[in-house]
Homo-oligomer: A and B are copies of this chain.
């Protein structure tokens, strides 16, 4: 059953909604709500609702449902696949969670923190830290991303290897469902087998099945000692063997394991970004490893022992172990500045992919060879190799710009995505589907899963008002 087309958020809808909300809850949406970081989508001029409470969110959703007007939930606006910007179709209302930005409670003795859906990720990290706890979700946009958005997109980042994705860090949710009902699922329980796991259904649904207004999050002990090293490896295959060796030595205490390609380091130099490279010349492949140890172990010693074993095994050829926090921060700045360098160079096509761990070397070899067949390009392949998640991004040669390759963009994308699909991988490892990859989901998604997704969407949001056009094509 196809739902009727949505209506636009017109003057009459807005004035009726305004009457139902406290003063100053509805505004004209300024331009920041209509843009997104990659500049691919541009939202239509509309209004933004800025609710102060879960009840007000419910009021907004109920009114939108009654008027059959679409609602686009808005967190920090940092999503990379256009999930937060509706460019086409009836004009939706934007629902920003920015006023619901409080840490509701920290239960340090339970290792639980409860926050509003609009709480900024960095604020959550700080609130945990103030009580000597760790909230391990960590990503480049943590200063502006909001936890409701992190959960709606099941954000990844650099802590996944040890602590899991955003969904693994969530014990409970409070949300407004598409029919305007408030679901009070804000449990602090570690075990709760009472029916279908609505939490995991909303997590990763990118706002298409409801709005996350609150979350109970898992905290962890702060590791007694942390340390980092940059180790030069011969190849991606050697990096994977190094990961295996590191886990044999240190078990779950390996906190992060990032692969960096020489191209990324050369981009940093080329774009004038101020980082301290620990090697005279950018190595072809480097691993940035982080360890967080329990009491009684010394990171520099543990990393030294690992390095010696890896050198012995022929996996690493060189390496630098951070001797202090500053040096460790310098290493991480290299990793964190690479996406900025990429932006400055301007990629032709970027791919946030994952493949089974053992397929990584093959993927890089085959992917690079296929791109080379198309012409001369630069490839920056880097990322969370411990999770099988690579950012495989294709750039023009020096002197050329992305615009020069505009007509090759699609060909490059499908070339990489088809390869990923053949290898049993995912064409969206951590960024989600949003609006950018709706076609990819249709192309590569399992048909039974897609039909189940459509049935669930129709069951929970029969009018299709929640984030219309994201994840599933608006019918």
CB-defined contacts of A296 to chain B, threshold 8 Å:
297, 302
Chain A interface (Cβ < 8 Å from any Cβ of B): 107, 109-112, 153-154, 156, 160, 164-165, 167-168, 177, 179, 181-185, 187-198, 200-201, 203-205, 209, 220-221, 223-224, 240, 244, 247-253, 292, 294-297, 302, 354-358, 384, 387-389, 424-433, 437, 440-441, 444-453, 455-460, 471-472
Q: Which residue of B lies closest to A241 (CB)?
A: B109
17 contacts between A and B (CB under 8 A): A110-B388, A112-B357, A156-B193, A160-B191, A181-B447, A185-B449, A190-B388, A191-B389, A192-B354, A194-B433, A195-B204, A198-B449, A200-B200, A220-B252, A221-B251, A251-B292, A296-B302
Q: Which residue of B lies closest to A108 (CB)?
A: B244
A154 and B445 alpha carbons, distance in the complex (Å): 25
In the complex, the answer to whether A201 meets B204 with C-beta atoms within 8 Å is no
A283 and B429 alpha carbons, distance in the complex (Å): 51
A414 and B290 alpha carbons, distance in the complex (Å): 50
- Known: A240-B109, A446-B185. Contact between A249 and B194, CB under 8 A? no
CB-defined contacts of A449 to chain B, threshold 8 Å:
183, 185, 195, 198
In the complex, the answer to whether B197 meets A110 with C-beta atoms within 8 Å is no
CB-defined contacts of A472 to chain B, threshold 8 Å:
195
CB-defined contacts of A356 to chain B, threshold 8 Å:
107, 110, 112, 188-189
A196 and B294 alpha carbons, distance in the complex (Å): 36
Partner of A459, one of B223, B425, B455: B455
A453 and B358 alpha carbons, distance in the complex (Å): 38
Q: Which residue of B lies closest to A81 (CB)?
A: B193
In the complex, the answer to whether B459 meets A458 with C-beta atoms within 8 Å is yes
CB-defined contacts of A387 to chain B, threshold 8 Å:
190-191
